[in-house]
Structure 1
Amino acid sequence: MKYYVAVLTGAMSYGILSTIVVLAYGQGYQLGEVVGSQLLTGFILSWMLALYTKFQQRRKAHEAGKGQGAAAPIQAIQRLTWKHRLLLMAAGTPTVITGLVYYQSLRYIPASLAIILLFQFTWISVLIQAVGKRQRPDKVTLLTLLVLFGGTLLAAGFLEHGLSEFSVWGIALGLMSAVSYSLFVLFSGKAVPAAHPAYRSAWMVTGGLILLCILFPPTFLFNGLIWSQLLVFGLLLGFFGAFIPPVLFTIGVPHIGGDMAGIIGAAELPVAVLMSAIVLHEHVSGLQWIGVIIVLMGVALPELYKYRLSRSKTIYS
C-alpha cells in the first residue's frame, strides 16, 4: 500500500503546478525562467537528500562494523557506475520536456483544456505498456481507462467550452506533454531500479537540468532576477514538481508497475481543478465537480476489484 500512496502523492503534487505557473506568468516571468528556477530548486533538494542518504548509510555501516569487532569488514556502499548515471540522466529528460511543452500550452489554451490534454497520459502509458509487453490490457484496466476518460471530459470542462475556438498549436503542445509524461512514468521505474531512490532521483533531475540549460541558458542566475519573486515560484515549483514526484515515483513505480502508475496518476486532475477553484478563483461548474468524482472513482476501481477478488479467495479457501 505504501508504494501506491507514494505514486498517488507524487501525482497530486503535479496537480499543483499549473496554478503556480499561471501565477508566475501573471507576474511577467517567461517559460525558461519558470522551468529553470523549478529544476534548479529540485536539483538542490534532490542532491541534499542524496548526500544525507549517503551519510546515513555510511554511519549505519560503520556502526555495524564496530558491533562485529574491529576486524569485521564494513559493508560496502553501493556505487553507481557512470553507465548507470547516464541512464538515469537520460530517464530524467522527459520531465523537462513535459514541463516545457505543458507550461507553454498554458499560453495558448485555457488551463482546463491543457489539463485534459496532459491527462491523456493515462491511456498513452497503458498503450505503451501493452505494445512493449505485446499483450492486451485486461478488462479491469480498460474499464478504468473508460471511466477516467469520461470523468476527465467533464472535470476539465471540455463539453462546455467546445474545441473549435482553441489554438491548434496549443492542443499539439498539450498532447506532446501527455506523451512525454507517459515516458517519464515508465522510465522512472525501469532506469536502474536496484539503486537507492534518493540517488536515482538526484541523477534524473541532474539530466533534466543539463538539458534545460542547453535549451534555455540560465541567464536569470546572473541578471539578479532569481532574487525577485521568481525565487518563491521556483521554490514551490521545484518542491512540488522537480523534487517530490521523482523521489516518490522512483520509490513506488518499480513495485506497482508502469500501467498501474499511469492510472493512479489520475489524481493529478482533481487536485488541479481544486487548486484552480480555490487559488485562482476560477468558476468550476457542477458538471466539472461530477467529473472530479468520476475520476476519483476510476482511480479507486482497480484497487476495489483487487480487494473484492482477494476477499472472495479468502472466503472460498
Structure 2
Amino acid sequence: MVLPKQVKYSLFVLIGACSYGIHASTVKLTFGAGHSIDEVTGGQYFFGIIMLLLLLTFSKKQKLSLKSNLNLMGIGVFLSFTGIFYSLSIERLPASIAIVLLFQFTWIGVLLDAIASKKWPSKQKLVSVVLLWLGTIFAAGIFEANGFQWSQSLDGVMYGFFASITFALFIFFSGKVAKNAPTIQRSIMIAIGGILVIIALFRPTFVWDGTLTESLWSYGLVLGLFGTIFPIIFFSLGTPHIDSGLATIAGAAELPAAIVAAMFILGEVITLAQGFGMMLILVGIILPQLPTHTRHRKRSEPIEL
C-alpha cells in the first residue's frame, strides 16, 4: 500500500515529534543522575553531531550557498532555545503547567502558517487545534495541579511560553529553508546552529573535565539519538513537503509519546484523564489528514538521504 504524499510526510513529522517525546524522559533520567542543564544539552548536541557526521559519509552531498547554510543554522537556534526555555520552565513550574505552556505552539504554528499564506485556516485545522488544546489540558494533568499560583511563577510561565514560540518557529522555518538540500547535510547544519547556542550560553567543561567519559556519554548517546538525530532528520524529511500548519499539528504527537515513554521508562502511571487527553490529541492529528486521503492516489516519490 502506497500512502498519499501528504499523509506520508505528516507521518515523518509525527515520528520526529514522538522521538522528542521519548527524549523528555531521558532528560529526566539524566538530571536524576546529577547532570546539569549545560551537560544535558551540550551532551545531546555533541553526540548528535558526531552521529550525523558519520551518516554524512554514506549520504548524498551537494554544495549549499552561504545563505542556505546560515538559514539552516538559524533553524537549529530555534530548536536549541526550545530545549533551554522548556528546561528553565519545568524547573520553576509543575510539569503539567510547563507542558500546557509548551503546547501553545499548536495554535501559534497554525497562526504563522495563516499569516504567511494569507489564508484563513481550514475548518479541519481549526477543529484540530481545539482538540489538541483540550487534549493537552487533560493529558498534562492540569486539573491535578491544585493550588498553583500563576502570579508567583511568572518567570517560569514566561520561559514556557517562549519555548512554545521558538518551537513553532522551528517547525515553520524547517519547511521553508533549503528544501531541496540532502536530508543529512541539512540536518547537520541545523544541529551546528543548535550547538553554537549551547557553546555561547554554557561553558562546555564536560568535554575536558572527565564528565563526558565517566558517566555522561551513556546518556548523551540516547539524548543525541532522540533529541537531535531523529527529530531533525524526520522533520527535515517531512516539513518541506507539507504546509507548516499541518506540520505543527502533526508535531503535537510529542505529548502522547512523552506520556507513554514516561510510563515505560520512568514507571509513571497514566490516569484515565490522561488517556482521554491522548485520544483527543490523536484525533486532532488525524483529522486534517482525512480529506487528502481520498484526493491523492499518486505514487510516492523516493526520498534521498
TM-score calculated relative to the size of structure 2: 0.89
**How far apart, CA to CA, are the structure 2 residues paired with 1:8 and 1:229?**
31
In structure 2, the CA distance between the partners of 1:163 and 1:50, relative to structure 1 (3 Å rule), is farther
Q: Which residue of 2 aligns with 1:29?
A: 35
- Once the two structures are superposed, the pairs formed by residues 183-194 of structure 1 within 5 Å of their partners are 183-194=169-180
The one-letter code matched in structure 1 to 2:164 is A
Q: Which residue of 2 aligns with 1:121?
A: 105
Q: 1:233-252 CA deviation, whole Å, 9 max, x = no partner?
A: 11111111111111111111
**How far apart, CA to CA, are the structure 2 residues paired with 1:310 and 1:93?**
35
Q: Which residue of 1 aligns with 2:264?
A: 278
Q: Which residue of 1 aligns with 2:134?
A: 150
Q: Which residue of 2 aligns with 1:63?
A: none
Q: 1:63-85 CA deviation, whole Å, 9 max, x = no partner?
A: xxxxxxxxxxxxxx631122221
**How far apart, CA to CA, are the structure 2 residues paired with 1:82 and 1:50?**
19
Contact 2:22 2:258 in 1 (8 A): yes
Which of these residues, 172, 183, 189, is aligned with residue 197 of structure 1? Answer: 183
Stretches of structure 2 that go unaligned for 5 or more consecutive residues are 1-6, 298-305
Determine whether 1:95 maps to 2:101. Answer: no
**How far apart, CA to CA, are the structure 2 residues paired with 1:90 and 1:165?**
35
Determine whether 1:159 maps to 2:139. Answer: no
- Once the two structures are superposed, the pairs formed by residues 42-57 of structure 1 within 5 Å of their partners are 42-54=48-60
- Once the two structures are superposed, the pairs formed by residues 125-136 of structure 1 within 5 Å of their partners are 125-136=109-120
Determine whether 1:233 maps to 2:219. Answer: yes
Determine whether 1:10 maps to 2:10. Answer: no
In structure 2, the CA distance between the partners of 1:232 and 1:131, relative to structure 1 (3 Å rule), is same
Contact 2:129 2:284 in 1 (8 A): yes
Say which SS state the counterpart of residue 93 (structure 1) adopts.
helix
Determine whether 1:79 maps to 2:79. Answer: no
Post-superposition offset of 1:164:
2.9
Post-superposition offset of 1:310:
6.9
Contact 2:113 2:243 in 1 (8 A): no
Post-superposition offset of 1:106:
2.1
**How far apart, CA to CA, are the structure 2 residues paired with 1:171 and 1:18?**
19
The one-letter code matched in structure 1 to 2:264 is I
Contact 2:174 2:239 in 1 (8 A): yes
Contact 1:18 1:103 in 2 (8 A): no
CA RMSD of aligned residues (A): 1.8
Post-superposition offset of 1:197:
1.2
**How far apart, CA to CA, are the structure 2 residues paired with 1:134 and 1:4?**
22
Find the structure with the greater CA-based Rg.
1
Q: Which residue of 1 aligns with 2:25?
A: 19
**How far apart, CA to CA, are the structure 1 residues paired with 2:243 and 2:119?**
15
Post-superposition offset of 1:309:
6.4
The one-letter code matched in structure 2 to 1:22 is K
**How far apart, CA to CA, are the structure 2 residues paired with 1:110 and 1:238?**
26
Which of these residues, 257, 260, 277, is aligned with residue 243 of structure 2? Answer: 257
How high is the sequence identity, in percent, across the aligned residues?
A: 38
Determine whether 1:39 maps to 2:45. Answer: yes
**How far apart, CA to CA, are the structure 2 residues paired with 1:104 and 1:224?**
25
Q: 1:136-170 CA deviation, whole Å, 9 max, x = no partner?
A: 11111101111111111111111222473463322
Q: 1:223-271 CA deviation, whole Å, 9 max, x = no partner?
A: 0000122111111111111111111111111111211110011111111
**How far apart, CA to CA, are the structure 2 residues paired with 1:309 and 1:195?**
28
Aligned residue pair count: 289
